[in-house]
Structure formats: structure tokens, C-alpha cells
Structure 1
């Protein structure tokens, strides 16, 4: 259960949907400065009412900096401010810092960036974040289609659709990995995992590495041998990437357990391997 002021949400997705549908890129019918400079809006009582009940983020943000502290107090109690508005300071950082925030799994910060960020590079980082599920991206895509304002929206829509496909593909691969990790001594499953060690998705590569870093040395040796076999000419780069991943992987094994000769299948031990083992001992 997620609690935000008077609000309760069962899941992050419920929270995301409520906030996005209520406030995503909502703008007043007339510019904010004109809206708030109307004669009626200058009256303190009316200004407090606007700060309390308004659903336009730009209006609430302006009133949160109003000279009248009563208006400011009302704005800071607005539902929008309680749900996401108070974290908007992240938007004031430079692009590099915002991209770094986009990579961190702090859900409310991610939500603020997705709601208000205009830089496509930062938006792309946000959409790749593990906090954003396929359901959330679907909500976001539908809102963009509904709003449909200009070229920027089309670019954001294209990026969101691309991220959605990538996340769906990741889910399928993750399912395959879970199946294969139960059969680590099976050559077919070893080969399936090995191929994913060169996957372009860093999350998938990391998932495979996390499995291989803790397996028994004798099983790891099977993977190394499989990776060292000749690859087809058009897969040389794939093999290079796999072997590179193994180098990083071996460094992580702390300590890397030495494999006793007694654990190795006798028929698979070559003279050179025996010599290497003897030298190690």
C-alpha cells in the first residue's frame, strides 16, 4: 500500500495512472500569468481557492511562490503538490544530472521527469528505468496519443513505443533465463544462456552474469569451453563479446575456487590442462 497524504494506492501502477491522467502536461485554457492576473484572481480568498483546488501544475507552481503566505500554504497542500509537485526541483539540474536521476530507481523522481521533462535524451533514460513497467508505458503512450500536440509529442511517442517493445522483449528473455538457470548442466540450456551473455540489453547481460558468478567451478568450466569453441564467421564479434564478459565475470568470483582434478571428467582433461593444474598446485 502506498500512502501520499490523504491518498492510498495499492501499487505503483495505480499511483502512476492516477497522477498521469490527472496532471500530465495539463495546461490552463489561457496562459498562467494572464489567468492569475485577472481581477477576480487577485482577491485573496479567490486566490486561495485556486491554490487549493486547481488541477493545472503551472498554476499551482506559480501560486507556491506567491507573495501571500496564505496562498503559498494552500498551494503546498494541493493534491498535485502532495503527489509529485514537491519533487520538481530535480528539473532544475543540468542535463547530465537529470539523466543520472533518470537511471536511479526512485519512483516519484522518475514520475516527475516523465511528466515534465522535454529533453528526449533524458526521457529515453526515464523510459528504460526498471521502475517504469509496460503497463505504465501503455498509459503514457495512450496519453500522448490523446494529447497529440506537435512534433515533440510524436518524438516522445516514438521513444515510448520503442521502450515498450524493448521491455516486452526483456520479459520474454527473462522468462527464458529463469527456465535455463534450473538446468545449468544441460548443454542446450548452457548454450541458450551463453548467447544472452552477448545480448545488447545490459539488464539481460547482468542477469546472466549474476547466475554465472555463483555457480560451481566445474559448471563454469563447461560454459568457458563452450564459449571457446570455434564460432561461425558471422558470429566472431558475438564470441568476442561473450569472452569479454567472462573476463569480467571471473574477476568478480571472490575467491575463484580452484577446480580439483577429481572434479573434472577424466576424458575431457587434456595434457595441457593437467600441466596447468599441476603448476597451480
Structure 2
């Protein structure tokens, strides 16, 4: 059984020599070709191959060097880890407003477009959400979970959308109370539209979920909000794994909700 030291050494070796492992996954190569392909000195390649072979990650034979099964498994997982780190760092300005206990997984960030209100175009996040909502055609539908309206045009967008495609929205009880107090007529108008179905829930996360289905495919958006209800940013994705998580999370929220009664 591997010791903690051996595991730590293997982790450091994969991180340090991932380029060599990746190069040797496809075919067996002589060391001179490794030198040419990676641009390293002969001594650096010899040292790297010795380290990798001693760890069981590369097979060093007279006919050439090749990544072993174990080496390939570790290289694949390390590349996936680097991609995940990249996704998180790219989205950090949107995610930083979420509480520590937020249930948003790294899967939801995969290959996503990240839009923040910072910089010279503060309305870009609103445009990104509207682009997602405009995606469905006549055969599509939109599902939304929303704890807070960062966009003052939220109800207006919902009314317009419900007149075009089936729209389902799960509101939090807190948001329903706010709308009841301040925008009762607008909500009543929305509820009268045949294409709209409303629900309310006592729980739910602090981010908004949007799932827009169309004949050409599905697109999802995650909108974050600060504690004082300002916009944190938007994450837009059509990645299959991210969408599967969004579909599952929305279904969980929806299952814990109840129909929105007339205000």
C-alpha cells in the first residue's frame, strides 16, 4: 500500500511532468523525439523519464517510452483538475458574493461564459440573461427559480416571455412578500397569462437558476445576487454536464414548492 509520502510525491511528479505524460499517452517515443517535441535538454528528459519510470507512470524500454495505464489515469485526472480550477477562477467574481455554504458545484461552471457588471459595460449581465430567455422558439419552454429580482425589468420580461413560450417560475416566499407589497398588479397580470405557471418555496439557494429549452438545444444561466440584492454576475452554459446538474437542482427546488396562489 502506498504511503502518504509516496502519494504526495506522485501528485507533485504528475504536476511537474504532465507535459511528458501527455506526450507519451498516444504512442511510444524514443527520448530524442521527446527532446525535439518538448524542447527540453537531453539531461532534463532523461531525468524526467527516470523519475516517471521509477514511479510506475512511464514504461522506459529500448524501443521507446510510453505512459503506463496508471500514468494515463493520473494525467487525465490532473488535466481535469486544472480545467476545474480554470473554470472556478474565471467565475470567481460572480461566485464571491455567494455564502460559504452555497451548493453550487464546479460542474456548473464548465466551459461557461462569465459576465459581470464590472467595467465599462455594467449592463452586459442583463443582456446575457435576456439572450438566454430569447433562445426558446414556439416549441420551447423556460423554467426559472428566482430568490431576488436584481433586474428591475424582471416581471416585464416574465410577462413578455409567458406570452410566447410556456414559463414556469419558482419564487421564494421572501420575494413573493416583496412583490405582494410593492408590485401586486404586475404579478396578478402575469398570473393571468395562460403560458405562466407560478410556484413559491420557503427554501432554495441564493442564486437564480434559468433553464431555457428550444428545438436547437438547452441553455442555462446562473445569476448571483449580493446580500443586499444587487447583481453579482451571470454564468451562461450549454455544457451537457452543467445542464444535467441545473435540471436536477431545479427539480429539487420545484419538488419542495407549492402553487402560487392569487395575491
Structure of larger gyration radius: 1
User: Of Structure 1 and Structure 2, which has the larger fraction of its residues in helix?
Assistant: 1
Higher relative contact order (CA 8 A, sep 6+): 2
Whether TM-score is above 0.5 comes out as no
Q: TM-score, normalised by structure 1?
A: 0.27
Q: TM-score, normalised by structure 2?
A: 0.29
User: Of Structure 1 and Structure 2, which has the larger fraction of its residues in strand?
Assistant: 2
